[in-house]
Chain A
Amino acid sequence: MTRGRLFSILGLGLPLLLIAPHAVTAGTSEQALQHSSDAEFEIDHERYTLDNGLEVILHRDPTAPLVAVNIWYHVGSGDEVPGMSGFAHLFEHMMFQGAKHIGEDVHFDTLREIGATGVNGTTNSDRTNYFEIVPSHEVETALWLESDRMGYLLALLNEASLENQIDVVRNERRQRYDNVPYGLERFAVAAALYPEGHPYRYLTIGRHEDLENATLDDVSNFFKRWYVPSNATLVLAGDFEIDEAKALVDKWFGSFPKLPKPAHTVVPAPELKQNVRTELEDPFARLTRMHFVWHSPANLAEGDLELDVAAAALGSGGWGRLTKRLVDVEKIAQSVWVYQSASGFSGTFDVVVTLSPGQPDAAAQQAAVAKAIQEEIDKLVAEGPTAKELARHVIGIEAGFVWGLEDLGGRANQLQWFNHYTGDPGYANSYVARIRGLTPAAVQAAAAKWLTKPRAEIISVPAPADAAGPKSGKQPAPKGAKQ
């Protein structure tokens, strides 16, 4: 006892808000998570579909008096058409601006007042999601808010609100892309991989000029086409009775009309005919970064999980082959980052190396890094990963699943993720079975298939340190910035 503590055993039966105990102690939630042993990873759930096509997935866990409400609309920036880059995400912002019955600008206020946490929405190339965790006695208020913007968003749509959110989203782009190191690189990677007209070309955030040109008609048309009940999946996870939840979902969403489920246009990744190389001066980076990137399989497609193993073999801290060689042995890199990043249409396999500063010959350093990348990939293509490397990856994925089960919001999102990409919210066990079934030969074959093709090489070098020279790194972004 070193700091004068007055207690030795503290049994905090501390009542919060009301009195009767709802002890979160041993056993109370075993029912909900009984499958999370080593062999079974599935999250208990029930899925059903309303007459109007809205998919509903319920996962009951009364451990804490909370409900995670999580809606995925199956539309993302991958569904955008040329000239409207960034629109799916801009639209996501509009979904927080108000709707007919709830009123304008009340979404966050209302959720704050009822003690909601983790309130947000996100957009990627494949889907747009909206989520909040609410105290379970207020779940109906969350359904009121979510159903109103699904059904009645356009009633309060107005020019001032759209103008404002265009500004906000352009500020978001400035903050997260235009004003940070290697922001330019992200656009350059996409520009090298995807031709004009491909929806991945301008990233989910989009181009300033496209955002600026968005109109109320665009918002209205996008809403009517994509935000229909049949194109959405609602997950409720947490403390409720199943029958009660079904009745509430039916009350708030059941009378919505049945509208056609919109079809997606699949845009496969083009092939690179030859290696392409882009060098750019980064105004905010002080370290050179080399980003090599290949087209790769779509999410969960053949080769996707295999290339995850390839990425681990190359880029894991300490034992990853490329990391060890460049960071720890040759000491010419600060960091090495290798990942397979898969989206709905296709994926990318990325090797990102931040170079160590202060090397006498920058060109030689870059050549040495490029040589190391090529040699380590060649070796992986020729020999595959070792059984040990593969085993580390498999156990790591399994453990990651178990760790991901504690958080309610994480479980809700996991159900959505599997449902979106496989049509089966309970795909977890199949997923783990696929991971366990991987072999060094399969990884080798995937590496041989994908990593021997032409690649893009994006090299970001620090703009010359000339503090007074606007020429040194003319801002590419604020074209049309509002003055």
Chain B
Amino acid sequence: MKSQFTTRAGRRLVTSAALLMSMTVSMSACEREATTVDPDTTTVDVVVEDPAPRWPDEPFRAERPTPKPIKNVTIPKVETFELDNGVEVFLVQQQTLPTVLMYMEWDLGEVNDPKGKAGMSALCGSLVGEATKNKDKEAFAAAQDDHAVSVGLRAGTELTNLSLRALERELGPALDLAAEMLFEPGMRQTDFDRLKDQRKAWIEQSKGSASSISRRIFPSLIWGSKHTYAKIETAASLDKVTLSDCESWVKRLKPDGARLWVVGKITEAELRTQFDARFGNWKGKAPKPVKLGTPKPAKATIFFVHVPNSAQSEVLIGHPGPARDLPDFEATQLMAMILGGSFSSRINMNLREDKGWSYGARGGFSYNRGGSSFAASSSVRSDVTGPAVLEIAKEIERMRSAAPTAEELRREQEGALLAMPAEFATATRTLFSMRELDYFSLPLDWHGGHQERLRAVDTAAIHAAAQAHLQASDQVVLVVGDGAVVLESLEKIAEDAVFGGGGIQYLDSDGNPITRPDFAQPDPSQPDQPDPK
């Protein structure tokens, strides 16, 4: 195969080899004088004998190109107005595509679930989106697909959203279906029972693997089990929810105080006309945001969940973080990028590119209205679980102990500034960006100041942010993996009190404390299972 390649390449080399020769004439004049071979012959020899294709080596390739002058960006216009029934509208028009996307948003979500009924709003939301009085599940789905539109209702942590997606010409039918869903939801006992059973089954499924277990229980460790962000939905909590809970729940979806986010080929006047025709008689006060408590994280402890035969361990180190509206938000943002936010971050370069222990590792703050949480995490090969925990801790400590390099600052600072236009590349992205600002009660012109504050960050500010917002000790550490492989090293880390003196706490897959499980040691004589035939 190799010789075949040589021949083909060799035959085609006349042009490029000749080019190379002409380019090197002046540089190799001395050498040519020293050689006894006729230059013309040399050229021919190269063509015949050199198997490698000649790639040009122009000097300009050695230097990163100089960028052109930077272009200006103006964020697409956001129109805000209020409907008669108190719905606050945010509209980003675009005229290029015949599409309309809408979200009606309420301050209602999992945080409102009554004690012991975690999962109630999510279940009720899915029930409302399932069917209407006049259209069962099949008919409701078919009615949407007949027009290639989708309408739905989904309850998240703090917000419930009615969503609508339609081509411009199908907006009427889509709004009809949305109004029907909201005002005449199906609320059938059979649908309710089935949806509840399905949720319970997915919860059961999520207890089977390391990554889903860690996602499910980590928030309760960071925020403390009593916090409104820490509710863990279980079969038992779902069993307490009744159809009448959902009937009451849907009645809370009222207009006055709801936000309507719209992006698409539609004007304010058109939107008002379309809405009034269907939602004009809709009245009432929407729910107010609930008060959120302060986090009381489980401290100074390694938490461990055993999942036999895990090929990797999920490793998370975290703690509560700062509020979104602090003045050092930008310094904190850049600090988190350097630590674990970008591909080039320290944690990723260490665990992935240096050690080869992971497919990727990251760290950063995730913000909610009630505050933020910091988490550094990775899926790591089981046999290096303990060392990986220590390496992540080391990177956090290194971030706290000294300012970053000027190069790290430049990369993330320039990167963040120059990446900003991408956030407004489309009308839809602009709308999402604005929606996030509104969620945090930040002004919609926030990006102007943000830009200035980003520019002002220096390495000292980043160092200060690290010291202020990364905890040196008493972090929450969660590891989910195969105890037979990983526990020895974790117990040593707990004994050494690397994260404080709280020791190690074993949890079941629902996050409940248990005593140390008895692990079978892996049996080295057991042959690997062959690929299934």
Contact = CB atoms under 8 A, between A and B. Distances in A.
B243 interface: no
A473 to B, nearest CB: 5
Most buried by A among B15, B210, B410, B419: B419
A483 B383 contact: yes
Given A12-B78, A14-B448, A30-B95, A115 B141 contact: no
Given A112-B342, A475-B311, A260 B8 contact: yes
B4 to A, nearest CB: 10
Nearest to B149: A399
A184 B70 CA distance: 50
Contacts of A33: 96-97
A402 B167 contact: yes
A299 interface: no
Contact of B74 (A14, A331, A458): A14
Given A112-B343, A114-B67, A284-B208, A171 B448 contact: no
B167 A399 contact: yes
A174 B430 CA distance: 37
Contacts of A119: 343
Interface in B97-133: 97-99
B64 to A, nearest CB: 6
Contacts of A256: 55-56
A16 B420 contact: yes
Interface residues of A, number: 146
Most buried by B among A166, A169, A334: A334
A180 B445 contact: no
A477 B311 contact: yes
Contact of A257 (B16, B80, B306, B420): B16
Given A18-B72, A36-B97, A476-B528, A101 B62 contact: yes
A27 B77 CA distance: 13
A255 B209 CA distance: 52
Nearest to B348: A108
A235 B413 CA distance: 29
Contact of B142 (A7, A152, A319, A356): A319
Contacts of B1: 221
A301 interface: no
B272 interface: no
A392 B146 contact: yes
Interface string B2-39: 10010011001101100100000000000000000000
Contacts of B74: 13-16, 21-24
Contacts of A221: 1-2
A178 B312 CA distance: 8
A140 B65 contact: yes
A17 interface: yes
A475 B204 contact: no
A180 B359 CA distance: 15
A448 interface: no
A357 B204 contact: yes
B412 A408 contact: no
A179 B208 contact: no
B357 A167 contact: yes
A382 interface: no
B425 A109 contact: no
B146 A65 contact: no
A187 B529 CA distance: 13
Contacts of B15: 257-258
B88 interface: yes
A354 B88 CA distance: 42
A144 B445 contact: no
B71 A65 contact: yes
Nearest to A259: B53
A113 B414 contact: yes
Contacts of B88: 1-3, 5
A470 interface: yes
Interface in A280-300: 280, 283-287
Given A2-B86, A16-B421, A469 B69 contact: no
Nearest to B209: A284
Contact of B356 (A2, A133, A163, A283): A163
A179 B480 CA distance: 12
B94 to A, nearest CB: 8
Nearest to B419: A115
A119 B529 CA distance: 37
B308 A469 contact: yes
A328 B138 contact: yes
Most buried by B among A12, A356, A395: A12
Interface size class, chain B: 35 or more
Contact of B529 (A13, A25, A66, A476): A476
A469 B308 CA distance: 8
Interface string A153-193: 00000000001101111011011101111001001100110
Given A15-B74, A64-B73, A405-B97, A478 B142 contact: no
A151 to B, nearest CB: 5
A119 B127 CA distance: 39
Contacts of B307: 284
Given A179-B379, A470-B308, A9 B528 contact: no
Contacts of A257: 12-13, 15-16, 53-55
Contact of B69 (A63, A137, A184, A317): A137
Interface in A177-216: 178-181, 184, 187-188, 191-192
B447 A14 contact: yes
Nearest to B135: A318
A389 to B, nearest CB: 9
B257 interface: yes
A273 interface: no
Interface stretch (B223-231, B316-324, B363-371, B514-522): B514-522
Contacts of B474: none
A274 interface: no
B8 A388 contact: no
Contact of A115 (B13, B139, B414, B451): B414
B454 to A, nearest CB: 11
A179 B223 CA distance: 27
B256 A2 contact: yes
B138 A280 contact: no
Contact of B426 (A163, A166, A407): A407
B383 A481 contact: yes
Nearest to B349: A105
B274 interface: no
Given A167-B356, A319-B141, A474-B528, A468 B520 contact: yes
B216 interface: no
A265 interface: no
B201 interface: yes
A304 interface: no
25 contacts: A5-B80, A5-B88, A12-B78, A15-B72, A17-B73, A18-B72, A24-B94, A27-B95, A113-B411, A113-B418, A115-B421, A116-B415, A136-B68, A140-B68, A164-B353, A168-B359, A179-B311, A181-B209, A191-B533, A239-B71, A287-B205, A331-B194, A399-B148, A470-B309, A479-B528
Given A17-B72, A286-B205, A478-B311, 18 more contacts: A2-B256, A12-B445, A22-B72, A112-B343, A113-B411, A135-B70, A138-B418, A171-B358, A191-B532, A221-B2, A225-B5, A255-B19, A257-B55, A318-B138, A318-B145, A331-B194, A402-B97, A473-B308
Across the A-B interface, give the 9 residue pairs with the lowest CB-CB distance, nearest first.
A318-B141, A115-B418, A167-B356, A65-B71, A399-B148, A140-B65, A284-B209, A178-B311, A115-B419
Interface of A: 1-3, 5, 7-27, 29-30, 32-33, 36-38, 63-66, 100-102, 105, 108-110, 112-119, 133, 135-138, 140-141, 143-144, 147-148, 151-152, 163-164, 166-169, 171-172, 174-176, 178-181, 184, 187-188, 191-192, 221, 224-225, 239, 251, 255-260, 278, 280, 283-287, 316-319, 324, 327-328, 331, 334-335, 356-357, 388, 391-392, 395-396, 398-399, 402-403, 405-408, 458, 462, 466-479, 481-483
